Structure 1
């Protein structure tokens, strides 16, 4: 199938499919006239790439997990659990940092509101 139909089936753009290929995540065959031709295996691989990106993985990280992209790697794959665990830890660190920043903003907001209240001007 051609790129337009493949992209529609995956819910992504043709540009994203080309990006996956450019980043070395996919090797898509070509027709005699040079058009990309996606097989069902290619679609499954692209779907896995899309899902990894949606969970926060970069194309560099996904490339390091290439064993998890093939049909053989759709279940347990070498390094998959380790990489997903690392990603989860990274997300948890980011979340904690955002919680700290949020609390700092809330404290500053409370201080400003209390200051205005003391002056007799409520926001």
Structure 2
């Protein structure tokens, strides 16, 4: 199938499909006239790439897990659980940092509102 239909089926842009290919994550066949031709296996692989990106993986991280992208690696793959665990730990650290920043902003807002309230009473 052509790029436009493949992108529509995956819910991504054709540009993203080309990006996957440029990054070495996807190797797509070509027709005689040079158009990209996506097989069902290509779609499954691109779908897995898309899913990893949505969960926060970079293309570099996904490339390191290439064994998890093929149909043979669709189930448990070597290093997959470890990489997903690392990503989850990273997300948890980011979340904790954001929670701290949020609390600091809330505290600062409370101080400013109290001062403003005090000023408006005088």
Summarize the alignment of residues 1-123 of structure 1 with structure 2, pairs less than 5 Å apart: 1-120=1-120
Unaligned runs of 5+ in 2: none
Q: CA deviation at 1:120?
A: 2.6
Superposition TM-score, scaled by structure 2 size: 0.97
**Distance in structure 2 (CA, Å) of the matches to 1:21 and 1:3:** 12
Q: CA deviation at 1:117?
A: 1.5
Q: CA deviation at 1:119?
A: 1.6
Q: Tell me the matched-pair count.
A: 121
Q: The residue matched to 1:76 in structure 2 has which SS?
A: coil
Instruction: Note the aligned Cα RMSD (angstroms).
Output: 0.7
Unaligned runs of 5+ in 1: none
